[in-house]
Chain A
Amino acid sequence: MDYLLQGFLHAFVLLFQGDPETYSAVWTTVAVSTTSICCSMLIGVPLGFSLGFNEFPGKRAVRTVVDTLLSFPTVVIGLLVYAFLSRSGPLGNMGLLFTVPGVAVGQTILGLPIIIAMTANAVETMDKRLAPTLITLGADKRRILRDTVLEARFSIMLAAMAAYGRIVSEVGISMMVGGNIKWHTRTITTAIALETGKGEFEMGIALGIVLLAVAFAVNISAATLRKRATQ
């Protein structure tokens, strides 16, 4: 019990006294997860949209694959990305191993199925009369796409939040691909793993609370955005 209380106090000290190591890990976490979520959205929303909007043979099979990928273990993604980015791997020349962009590649892969599946779901469950109505109003294809996505924006926002939650709390990819390098690729989750490995449970708990605070801050700002959008 002492651990928890001490950890809680420690978290406040770290946050409010501006401990540079903690802020470096916070910053890396925010930078890498923001990059990942943006890439996941950019790739995933159009894919999810076309999966939900269009009818084509084999659609069911694709859906099943995407749904299965929802439970892709992060350590397996980490391992695959590591194998590809390693100097002796196919993409080794890009020099992405043990860098923040390298971790972002892995986390984008992690977020992608969530965005695709939830976007497809949102488009599928939308009012079926939307597209015909838009056509009768003289909308062209691009307009239909834009308006449908706009109509589904809250569901897509929800998908983004779900994916962000998984990305920000992920440790397998960050550890394997990032290497937990201090000041560079150390995120809050890998720092927690390190501190626990060093037997510093108090510090681990403190960092856990910091991670919660970051997640909370992101959620609040998303909620604010949403409120502005509905007004």
Chain B
Amino acid sequence: MKRITLSLCTLLLTALLAVPAFAARTLLMATTTSTANTGLLDDLIVPQFKKDTGIEIKFIAVGTGKALKMAENGDVDVVLVHAPAAEKVYVDKGVLIDRTQLMYNDFVIIGPDSDPAGIKGMTPAKALNAIAAKQAVFASRGDNSGTNKKEISLWKAADMQVPDKEAWYVQTGQGMISTITVAEEKGAYTMTDRGTYIKYSANKDGNPPLKVLVEGDPVLFNQYSALAVNPKMHKNAKYDLAKEFIAWMARPETQKAIGDFKLLGKPLFTPNAQ
């Protein structure tokens, strides 16, 4: 028994040492699941920012809809999101300021190799029409995230009612990779951002069951931007740190590092700060 107690104490002590000391300056950020799931934040941005400025980033990965809401409530200091139309609403309200474009990737429609609706190489609008006509299963995130907002806008752009209760339209209410997993199990189509798709491919050792079928259309462009919480709205918001973070993200060295961040030899995001 004594030995168990002893090993338990050792375990706790190790754990204690493993937790780094609380940094004096911390920045709270709400971001999308795509930046978190691909490892961009954990493996590159958070450690490098800490090294360069001594500021620690604590990030919460949620959908863009929730991230913006958190900023409005004053629960975070800065957001890193990808839904320009929704961002504009909050900028107009005066809740968020300093919107800075940082990087982009693109959305793709993926599906099983057999391609039951025959959408390969089509434009997004035609592809969605074909899927609906064939009633081929389509998995949607259905969580009001940036990706979900984009998907809804594509249905609208294809002059169609956004599906909701249709049996072939599956709304998972989960993050991107979970949704891709659902699509894979059901042999369904889904829409995802390129970065998450590469990460998913890497999980499947570079040979994923779902392939990219529709890509390259200008409407599939996916812009990521950072926005700071307006200190006039929330006096607790750490605006100076947020400003420093946005400037750091936009500087050439960081932009280059983002471009060099690759999985399976493919870049996940392309920097485009001005």
Task: Encode B167-183 as 1/0 by CB contact (under 8 A) with A.
Answer: 00000001101101100
Classify the secondary structure of B's interface with A.
Answer: helix
**B12-A220 in contact (CB<8A):** no
B197 to chain A, nearest CB (A): 11
B189: interface (CB < 8 Å)? no
The residue of chain A having its C-beta at the shortest distance from the C-beta of B7 within the complex is: A217
With A98-B58, A183-B20, A221-B8 known as contacts, the answer to whether A197 contacts B15 (CB < 8 A) is no
Give the interface size bracket for B toward A. Answer: 35 or more
B203: interface (CB < 8 Å)? yes
Give the interface size bracket for A toward B. Answer: 20 to 34
What residues of B have a CB within 8 angstroms of the CB of A194 in the complex?
Answer: 61
Cβ-closest 10 pairs across A and B: A27-B15, A87-B74, A179-B60, A23-B18, A199-B177, A20-B18, A23-B15, A88-B73, A181-B58, A197-B175
Chosen A-B contacts, 9 in total, with CB atoms closer than 8 Å, are: A27-B15, A86-B74, A98-B58, A181-B59, A194-B61, A199-B181, A199-B200, A220-B4, A224-B4
B37: interface (CB < 8 Å)? yes
Task: Encode A12-39 as 1/0 by CB contact (under 8 A) with B.
Answer: 0000001010011011101000000000
Task: Name the residue among B4, B8, B75 with the largest chain A CB count within 10 angstroms.
Answer: B75
Give the residues from 161 to 196 in chain A that come closer than 8 angstroms, CB to CB, to chain B: 179-184, 194, 196
B28 to chain A, nearest CB (A): 7
**A184-B12 in contact (CB<8A):** no
**B8-A181 in contact (CB<8A):** no
The residue of chain A having its C-beta at the shortest distance from the C-beta of B41 within the complex is: A182
Give the contacting residue for A200; candidates B8, B14, B203; CB below 8 A: B203
B93 to chain A, nearest CB (A): 14
B114: interface (CB < 8 Å)? no
Give the contacting residue for A221; candidates B4, B20, B37; CB below 8 A: B4
**A88-B181 in contact (CB<8A):** no
Give the residues from 24 to 60 in chain A that come closer than 8 angstroms, CB to CB, to chain B: 24, 26-28, 30
Give the residues from 132 to 186 in chain B that come closer than 8 angstroms, CB to CB, to chain A: 174-175, 177-178, 180-181
**B16-A27 in contact (CB<8A):** yes
Give the contacting residue for A197; candidates B37, B60, B75; CB below 8 A: B37
What residues of B have a CB within 8 angstroms of the CB of A217 in the complex?
Answer: 4, 8, 11
With A197-B37, A220-B4 known as contacts, the answer to whether A181 contacts B15 (CB < 8 A) is no
B85 to chain A, nearest CB (A): 24
